Amino acid sequence: MLDVYERLGTDPGTEYHDHVYCTVVVDYEKRDRGRLKLTSTEGEEVRLFLERGKPLMVGEYLKATDGKIVQVEGAVEAVAHASCDDWNTFAKACYHLGNRHVKVEVGDCWLRIKPDHVLEDMLHQLGLIVSHEEAVFIPESGAYAGGHHHHGDDDHGHSHGHSHAHGHHHNHGHGHGHDH
């Protein structure tokens, strides 16, 4: 049995890739938990004791207490897939789903959500083509989630040689009748 307390990140260029001891395949709902008991694809029992509130990322590497590396893969699961060929329609659909705090995976004029007949009907009425499929569900982490950090893509410790404080100096008193 492996006990995991440490997250190592998702960067495929790391040394971890060549030293993966086992792989756990986890659906979205379980990736959103910090405490899990899983069985790896190799048959090893794996217990996760991770910080709550930070979902596991597909492709993430974890380190067991004995130093062995565990990789996370996303499980294929039922999703509703909606698409259109019009960015305006797509933006409206994303707005309405976001307004309902729905977990959404977003692509180029396509999106995925967990199956929900009410939401699927709304998407259809907005003009999207809705179908069901089996896929790994990787929803957006949200604007306030702090994003995910790809090790190696950081910008710590260097400067661009200029300030990013580009002033916001324009007059909002433009004298026509709308409220601010």
At 96, list the tokens. 């309405």
Ranges of the chain with pLDDT below 70 = 12, 142-180
Q: What is the pLDDT of residue 14?
A: 72
CA–CA gap between residue 168 and residue 69 (Å, rounded): 48
Q: What is the pLDDT of residue 15?
A: 81
76-136 fold: Alpha-Beta Plaits (3.30.70)
What CATH number labels 2-74? 2.60.260.20
Q: E-assigned strands of the chain?
A: 2-9, 20-26, 35-39, 45-49, 61-64, 69-74, 76-83, 105-106, 110-113, 129-136
Q: Dihedral through CA 96, CA 97, CA 101, CA 107, nearest 10?
A: -130
pTM of this structure: 0.74
Residue ranges covered by each domain of the chain: 2-74, 76-136
| pLDDT tens-digit series, residues 104-118 | 999 999 999 999 999
Task: Give the model confidence (pLDDT) of 70-123 as tens digits.
Answer: 999 999 999 999 999 999 999 999 999 999 999 999 999 999 999 999 999 999
